[in-house]
Structure 1
Amino acid sequence: MDTTTCCIAGGGPAGIVLGLLLARAGVAVTVLEKHGDFLRDFRGDTVHPTTLELLDELGLGDRFERLPQNRLDEVLVPVGGGIQRVGDLAALPGRYNYIAMVPQWDLLNLLANAAAEYPTFTLRMNTEATGLLTDGGKVTGVEYRTHDGEVGRIRAHLTVACDGRWSVLRRAARLPARQWPVPMDVWWFKIPRWEHEPKAMVPVISRPRPFIMIGRGDYWQCATIIPKGTDAELRRMPVSELLAAPAAGPVPWLADRVHTLGSWEEVKLLDVRLDRLRRWHRDGLLCIGDAAHAMTPVGGVGINLAVQDAVAAARLLAGPLLRRAVTPADLARVRRRRLPATMLAQGLQRLLHDKALRPALEGTGTTASGDPLPLRLLRRFPWLQRVPAYVVARGFRPERLH
């Protein structure tokens, strides 16, 4: 049986960032990632200003600058055949008044390579945490299974679940959660992007469903919402109908790409969830990121919250881990620190679900004048664009490493 001080299940942004920060502090840490690489389609690729600042603090800013990336400094909405800006990130204070769009696998490789420079860091790919080890009610490590079927155990002073919204470890720990209904699931797909088109995040208000387009070099990464649980039924229609309605309405410049989707295999389903653990820990185990609070894609804030969780956890737990004296009270401090930001972000998402997405799915999302009230307010008072820009770019209660 292998041993380590901290075992982290999941090699996403929360897991890799936490592993890097703990190894940097001298803690022996092992990260388990069930896949053989980080290459995954339609992972969130937003790198927010708070994460860019963290990379600078770690001395990784120059390496990050060399990664292929686009920068989003505004949020645009097609309105009446034109485009309206609803979020002005460039007006925000600070050096990083934009969101960097970087393939998540590139960011994770950068972070993992940086962590590997520390002798206390171990990354085990093709290794999935499948259960918990316990002793008298205390979690003492994990059971794992490798890609080729090998099984084993790792004993750890602290286990951290960063294995996402379908977390195996959170389920094994039987931690109680509160879940809220959501009106939608999400389809992800790609279409070509021409050089002269905006390099921005473009929400498209269209019937029968709105969607969002994210400029990614030579293609648009697109997501459209569908009523919750209707995936199988809607896939009976021709796949070309996905783009037919927006091309005939608010984004006519997509007309030449209506038939670029060849089959439904190119359209991926995201089963959307919104929940939060009532307690993020038990003795020997901590959940952070989506394992503690599953977010919906609204606002693109989930990755930023997960990274901020990791920074707070590293700052609060590195000392106790070095002393091998982590207590349930230490783990509870992480939740107390991160809970307000999580509640605010999820509260905002629930508000947007009820006031924007649900009406849009039901075809009742516009006023008598044609445009939703928030768009008319942002058009009349341009300074209000800083509010959605700040919420999307920085979020609530950003964490600093020191």
Structure 2
Amino acid sequence: MKLKRDVCIVGAGPGGALLAYLLAKQNISVILLERFKEIAKEFRGEHLNEEGEEILKKYGLFEKVEELGMLRMERLEYWEDGKLFKTVLPDPTIGHLGIHVPQSNLLTVLINEAKTFEQFSLMTSTTVIDLIKDEEGAIKGVKANQNGKEILIESNLVIGADGRYSIVRKKAGIDVTVRKHGYDLLWAKIPAPTNWEPTIKMALIDGMQLSLFTQTNGFIQIGWNIQQGSFPMLRKQPFTPFIEKLIKAFPQLERTVRSHIQSWSDFVLLDVYSNYAEQWGKKGVALIGDAVHTMTPTGAFGLNSAMKDADTLASILTEETMSELELIQCSKQRKKEVARLQEIQIEKEQTFAKQFVIYS
């Protein structure tokens, strides 16, 4: 099968889906490729900050996402030995400390809105296996596989919105600098106790950060930092003493923790690192989101930065202007801001323990 579009976007996460919608709205023919069958796959970084909120409101999308469900965080709390000792309230002009938005809700709105334009098309269960290049090495499209069938998609521009392990970045020969942060992350999701309020709660366990993020539909997401590379050894140790530390930090969670976290297999391990590419694209290709600047979970910048990349790129591209010059212009606008956010992440990680010094 052979197809032709102005733009081919690889990866139907929030950044790719938003960009597809914005380009189709500008009468640019765009095809969005997703390797999974279902668009609404589970995602762990689901917090909007004020930047992401502003982008959605800018295009009249925020209210539509809100109708499907979201939850505003009312405060940030710091706990020590089961006791609250510090509370941070939101700026009244913002009204929250982040908004939990299930990725399924966000993507449902973005895809449905994009489908209202004839210039948009979506292909799921579609895996990109290579880039199509001309004799001069310029990228002219992608070669993909859908359920065993080869598909060739010719395009003026390929967008890599396919995450930290981006195949587009790899096939385009764009290098990234990887920075380790000294920790990995254990995720778990548990039902919230009755009357649990929409908060973010923090504790310090063995010098490492433990975070609780309230989610929609009555759940809590646990993010527990552990020493980098320590999980294989950790899981060989008895499970009970480890989980007792969580219960000691937040006694109100004892019943739900004991019911829903009963072995190491109830945690999901995230290999934490950030990366950054000096080159955000080349002739015929551009990268956005985690494909070009992977963030750590700290500060929940990843989702919002990907959406900002999409918004910035869409404001520059037109049907007539998809040259390398426009791509360079876009990356210049975003590079400084992304570098600033990644430095903020490092500062937050390095100074987290200081939040507990006064209490101690």
* TM surpasses 0.5: yes
- How far the C-alpha of 1:349 sits from its partner, in A, is 1.5
Alpha-carbon distance in structure 2 between the residues aligned to 1:60 and 1:258? 36
The alpha-carbon deviation at position 189 of structure 1 amounts to 0.7
Q: Residue deviations 1:128-183, cap 9 Å, x none?
A: 2222111111011111112x222221111000100001111101111122222211
Question: Would you say the 8 A contact 2:162–2:290 is kept in 1?
Answer: yes
CA distance in 1, matches of 2:210, 2:174: 34
Equivalences for residues 21-170 of structure 1 within 5 A: 21-79=22-80, 81-85=82-86, 87-89=88-90, 91-94=91-94, 97-135=96-134, 136-146=136-146, 148-170=147-169
In the TM superposition, what are the counterparts of 1:227-238 in structure 2 within 5 Å? 227-238=227-238
1:400 aligned partner: none
Residue 144 to residue 197, structure 1, CA distance change in 2 (3 Å): same
Unaligned runs of 5+ in 1: 357-364, 377-402
The equivalent residue for 2:5 is 4
- TM-superposed CA distance for 1:280, in Å, is 0.5
**Secondary structure at the residue paired with 1:274?**
strand
Report the counterpart of residue 311 of structure 2 in structure 1. Answer: 311
Aligned-pair identity in percent equals 26
After TM superposition, the structure 1 stretch with the greater mean CA deviation from structure 2, 46-55 or 271-280, is 46-55
**Alpha-carbon contact 2:193-2:253 (below 8 Å) kept:** no
Partners of 1:345 and 1:224 lie apart in 2 by 21
Amino acid corresponding to residue 301 of structure 2 in structure 1? V
Show CA shifts across 1:91-119 (max 9, x none): 2425x645221211111011100110011
Structure 2's unaligned 5+ residue stretches are: none
**TM-score, with length taken from structure 1:** 0.83
| C-alpha distance 336-236 of structure 1, shift in aligned 2 (>3 A) | same
Query: Following TM superposition, by how much is the alpha carbon of 1:334 offset from its aligned partner in structure 2, in angstroms?
Result: 1.0
Asked if structure 2 preserves the Cα contact closer than 8 Å seen for 1:74 and 1:85, the reply is no
Partner of 2:221: 221
Q: Which amino acid aligns with 2:331?
A: R
**Contact kept? 2:76, 2:97, Cα under 8 Å:** no
Amino acid at match of 1:124: M
Separation (CA, whole Å) in 2 of partners of 1:170 and 1:56: 31
CA distance in 2, matches of 1:333, 1:118: 27
Aligned positions, number: 356
Q: Distance in 1 between matches of 2:349 and 2:52?
A: 26
- Cα separation, 1, equivalents of 2:60 and 2:324: 32
Residue 241 to residue 123, structure 1, CA distance change in 2 (3 Å): farther
Distance, in Å, in 1 between the alignment partners of 2:157 and 2:88 is 41
Per-residue CA deviations over 1:33-61 (Å, capped at 9, x if unaligned) read 11111343342111223333333332233
Counterpart of 2:258 in 1: which secondary structure? coil
Greater shift, 67-76 or 53-62, is seen at: 53-62
Structure 1 letter corresponding to 2:33: L
TM-superposed CA distance for 1:195, in Å, is: 2.1
State the SS of the aligned residue for 2:129: strand
Matched, 1:345 2:334: no
Change (3 A) 1:366 1:107: closer
Distance 1:285 1:176 in 2: 14
Q: Give the secondary-structure state (helix, strand or coil) at the position aligned to 1:194.
A: coil
Are 1:208 and 1:245, in contact at CA under 8 Å, matched by a contact in 2? no
Are the aligned partners of 2:75 and 2:88 in contact in 1 as well (CA < 8 Å)?
yes
* TM value normalised by structure 2: 0.92
**Which stretch has the larger CA shift, 98-107 or 35-44?**
35-44
CA displacement 1:364-397 (0-9 Å, x = unmatched): x469xxx336x89xxxxxxxxxxxxxxxxxxxxx
Q: Does 1:372 align with 2:357?
A: yes
The structure carrying a bigger strand percent of its residues is 2
Taking a change above 3 Å as real, the CA distance of residues 237 and 111 of structure 1, as seen in their structure-2 partners, is same
* One-letter code aligned to 1:102: V
Relative to structure 1, the CA distance from residue 315 to residue 212 in structure 2 (aligned partners, 3 Å threshold; closer, same or farther) is same
- Asked if residue 201 in structure 1 is aligned to residue 200 in structure 2, the reply is yes
CA distance in 1, matches of 2:240, 2:131: 46
Alpha-carbon contact 1:241-1:258 (below 8 Å) kept: no
Asked whether the 8 Å contact 2:55–2:308 carries over to 1, the reply is no
Contact 1:184 1:227 in 2 (8 A): yes
